[in-house]
Amino acid sequence: MRVQQGDFTLEIVQGDITKQPDMEAIVNAANAQLMPGGGVAGAIHRAAGPELAEACRPLAPIRPGQAVITPGFRLPNRYVIHVLGPVYGRDVPSDRILAEAYRNALKLADEHGIRSVAFPAISTGVFGYPMEEAAEVALKTVLEAAPKLRHVRHVRFVLFDERARRIHEEVLARLQATP
Ligand code: AR6
């Protein structure tokens, strides 16, 4: 699914965040220490190689909602933007912190002149954020931020499974119907 807002494209696909060669930056759902861990972070660090953990070390720790940037090393992407999402119900208000994570990632991308960014569904794995609630915050935040961005013209949500993709498509359709 793909929607157009002026010359800004928002896209929803099912797939693996480490296999998006046409995107300039991918976003990592990191931990505070910016270490490999499981889920998205594990997959990104495996694909990028050990240089990524090296580059991350001096940037850690980060706080919920914060974003930092590194090269992509062996990934097909020039950059990785690492954000720490909220642990659902522990880092509160979780919706505000999740929105801040998306906003800060986009702001950092824009400051680096990045044109395309791929996001996973931040906080919806180990951090326990319900998929539909997270999708609503994520998609709303990106659509609201889009007009203020100078360089970022293409945002892709890369959802790992069919259910997550379907939920994101339904939420986006609803947001489009009731602006
Ligand atoms: N590509 C796209 N999405 C993926 C991939 C992938 N390769 N792998 C998993 N997902 P999570 P969080 C989905 O747990 O909730 C880590 O251990 C997954 O199905 O990676 O923000 C870190 O070190 C889920 O919907 O991130 C942190 O400690 C979503 O990506 C902690 O987990 C996010 O799942 C961060 O937890």
CATH of the domain at 101: 3.40.220.10
Residue 32 has pLDDT above 80, yes or no: yes
Answer yes or no: is the C-beta of 126 below 6 A from any ligand 1 atom: yes
Answer yes or no: is the C-beta of 142 below 6 A from any ligand 1 atom: no
pLDDT in tens, 92-147: 999 999 999 999 999 999 999 999 999 999 999 999 999 999 999 999 999 999 99
Q: Residue 168: which pLDDT band, with cuts at 50, 70 and 90? A: very high
Answer yes or no: is the C-beta of 119 below 6 A from any ligand 1 atom: no
Distance between Cα 122 and ligand 1 center (Å) = 7
Q: What is the CA angle 124-126-132, rounded to 5? A: 15
What DSSP string describes 74-93?
Answer: TSSSSEEEEE-PPPTTTSSS
CA distance linking residue 69 with residue 71, whole number of Å? 7
Task: Tell me the two tokens of residue 126.
Answer: 């180990």
> What pLDDT is recorded for position 144?
97
Instruction: Name the closest-CA residue to atom 18, ligand 1.
Output: 125
Answer yes or no: is the C-beta of 28 below 6 A from any ligand 1 atom: no
Question: How many domains does one find in the chain?
Answer: 1
pLDDT in tens, 41-69: 999 999 999 999 999 999 999 999 999 99
Residue of 40, 91, 117 with the most ligand 1 atoms within 8 Å of its CB, for mutation: 40
**Taking Cα atoms as reference points, which of 54, 20, 26 lies closest to residue 41?**
26
Predicted ipTM of the assembly: 0.98
Per-residue CA distances from 74 to 14, 27, 49, 70, 78 (Å) = 22, 15, 6, 12, 9
Answer yes or no: is the C-beta of 19 below 6 A from any ligand 1 atom: no
Distance between Cα 6 and ligand 1 center (Å) = 31
Hey, what amino acid is at 120?
Answer: P
Q: What is the mean pLDDT of the chain?
A: 97
Residue 178 has pLDDT above 80, yes or no: no
pLDDT in tens, 134-159: 999 999 999 999 999 999 999 999 99
Average the pLDDT over 81-86 and give the result.
Answer: 98
3-state DSSP call for residue 63?
coil
Domain that holds residue 165: 2-177
Q: Which atom of ligand 1 is nearest to the CA of 38?
A: 17
Answer yes or no: is the C-beta of 125 below 6 A from any ligand 1 atom: yes
> What pLDDT is recorded for position 179?
56
Average the pLDDT over 76-83 and give the result.
Answer: 98
> What pLDDT is recorded for position 59?
98
Q: Residue 37: which pLDDT band, with cuts at 50, 70 and 90? A: confident
Do you know the residue count of the chain?
179
Answer yes or no: is the C-beta of 160 below 6 A from any ligand 1 atom: yes
Instruction: Name the closest-CA residue to atom 14, ligand 1.
Output: 125
* Residue ranges in the chain assigned as alpha helix (H): 39-48, 51-56, 94-111, 131-145, 162-177
